[in-house]
Amino acid sequence: MKRIVALVDDEPSIRKLIEYQFSSVWGHHVRQYGDAESFLKEMDDDVDLLVLDIMLPGMSGTEALEEVRRRDPDLPVVVLSAQESVDTAVRMLKLGALDYLGKPVDANRLELAAKNAFQLRDLNREVRQLRERMTSSVTFENVIASHGEMQEVFRLVNKVKDSDIAVLIMGESGTGKELIARAIHVHGRRNIGPFVVVNCASIPRDLLESELFGHEKGSFTGASQRRLGRFESASGGTIFLDEIGEMDLALQAKLLRVIQTKTFERVGGNETITTDVRIVSATNRDLKKEVDGNRFREDLYYRLATFPIIIPPLRQRRSDVLLLAEHFLRRFSAQEGKGARKFSREALQLMYSYPWPGNVRELENAIQRAVVMSEGETLSEHEMPVAVQSFSDAATRSASDVLAAPSAQASDNTIVPLDQLEEIAVRNALRICDGSSALAAKRLGIGRATLYRMVKRYGTNAGEVSSA
């Protein structure tokens, strides 16, 4: 595996000798600097090892080491000095240097120091990734849902999590596609590796190729040094390509090649790089229609959509609305230091009836705003955002009210969604019939098989349904 070594020494002959060892003999990439200021100006996370001379013009090696430690405490540093001194060596090691070598540099000692440095760098990166996963991991418990269609989503995630098959997650904006992608990664066998997110809609098209595959120094204006792409960073883990439908056709062809051959080149480079990543993508578009309109490659579509997962919008799983609202209420009350503990009846009816075009994200933002506005223990409908409050008064009535007084429906022009009426009808029939599926189906005028499909669709507790 090629490593990136930064070499800071003011003697060109020393730099040439060490560069030859690392590049020509050991096959690594070397960045050379004649002074510490130049290195610090370009310092980034890609460097695996810093070889640093003590006697430098301007900023000394000691000062440079202190600044490096401040910026990146985990970067391995090997210090060089023409004047070997025990006191100097001890001082450098106390400042965090990994090793201390005298000049002229012994190639065997340098190779051993480099191997130790690379192992340390890998270990520190792995520890950092594990720490990040511990603080931001996503489990199924974090994806709040009880509706039957969401339970099917969880079943599919369980089926696919340990496979490397490509997954395409489809759903409207705000439905939680990234949460599902993270759940696939966290629960799968690649969870030791990184989870790298790329939003294809938020990165300018002319920069997306460099973002995905990296670039070489000088490959375009502003490319002052080599940069690793997201596919390299995600090696051994998962890359999540969000809003994949926004990718232009030219880049789609390059992505298809990566999927087929698992290889690519950096922008402006000739070196073929092999990648070992699991690809999970997501879109809020109908990619089949995009294919029919020649806006998305058909061959890429079938590669990405090998295992599709569809997340239903919140308006189609209204039983999850109040469950999510309670979850967000507890979280934001604690976060904001508020005493809000419950919703008023009117607020519950409003949330249940509102269509939530922004899905879970809109609901989350609405509850956070309501908590901030709250004064007591109960959140009312008046503390909801204006867009929710201004929803038609007739539409805010619960479906139960409409069913209880069907004549009132004829007095206004409000149209209540059929799925909302159907769900409440099924729940009420089972309640009235004490869970008897046979009696409930008869009272509803439908077959028992149809009732079971409705029970599954709306997430009704199967334990409350008897076969009698």
299-333 per-position pLDDT tens digit: 999 999 999 999 999 988 887 888 888 889 999 99
Query: pLDDT tier at 371 (50, 70, 90 boundaries)?
Result: very high
Query: pLDDT tier at 398 (50, 70, 90 boundaries)?
Result: very low
As a whole number of angstroms, the distance between CA 72 and CA 61 comes to: 16
Express each pLDDT in 443-458 by its tens digit: 877 888 788 778 777 6
Q: Give 31: exposed, middle or buried? Use CB within 10 Å, 0-12, 13-18, 19+.
A: buried
As a whole number of angstroms, the distance between CA 356 and CA 315 comes to: 6
Q: What is the DSSP letter of 25?
A: I
Please answer whether residues 145 and 151 qualify as being in contact, where contact means their C-beta atoms are separated by less than 8 angstroms.
yes
Please answer whether residues 343 and 378 qualify as being in contact, where contact means their C-beta atoms are separated by less than 8 angstroms.
yes
**Residue length of the chain:** 468
Q: Which amino acid is at 228?
A: L
Mean residue pLDDT of the chain comes to 84
State mean pLDDT over 392-403.
46
pTM exceeds cut of 0.85: no
As a whole number of angstroms, the distance between CA 29 and CA 51 comes to: 13
Specify the 3-state DSSP secondary structure of 245. Answer: helix
Task: Let me know how many helices (H) and strands (E) the chain has, helices first.
Answer: 21, 14
Contacts of 393 (CB under 8 A, 6+ apart): none
State mean pLDDT over 363-380.
92
Lowest pLDDT segment from 34-48, 113-127, 128-142, 331-345: 128-142
Angle between helices 148-160 and 177-187 (to 10 degrees): 40
Query: pLDDT tier at 356 (50, 70, 90 boundaries)?
Result: very high
The bridge status of strand 4-8 relative to strand 49-53 is parallel
**CA angle 410-415-418, nearest 5°?**
110
Contacts of 152 (CB under 8 A, 6+ apart): none
pLDDT at 140: 57
Domains delineated in the chain:
4-133 (3.40.50.2300), 142-312 (3.40.50.300), 315-389 (1.10.8.60), 414-464 (1.10.10.60)
- 6 backbone φψ class: left, alpha, beta (φ>0; ψ -120 to 50): beta
Q: What is the DSSP letter of 74?
A: T
Terminal-to-terminal C-alpha distance of the chain: 66
Establish whether the linkage from the previous residue to 313 is cis, with ω within 30° of 0.
Answer: no
Does the pLDDT of residue 287 top 80, yes or no?
A: yes
Q: What is the DSSP letter of 23?
A: I
As a whole number of angstroms, the distance between CA 389 and CA 387 comes to: 6
CA neighbor of 273 nearest in space, from 289, 283, 282, 261: 261
Please answer whether residues 393 and 431 qualify as being in contact, where contact means their C-beta atoms are separated by less than 8 angstroms.
no
The bridge status of strand 195-199 relative to strand 167-170 is unpaired
As a whole number of angstroms, the distance between CA 184 and CA 163 comes to: 10
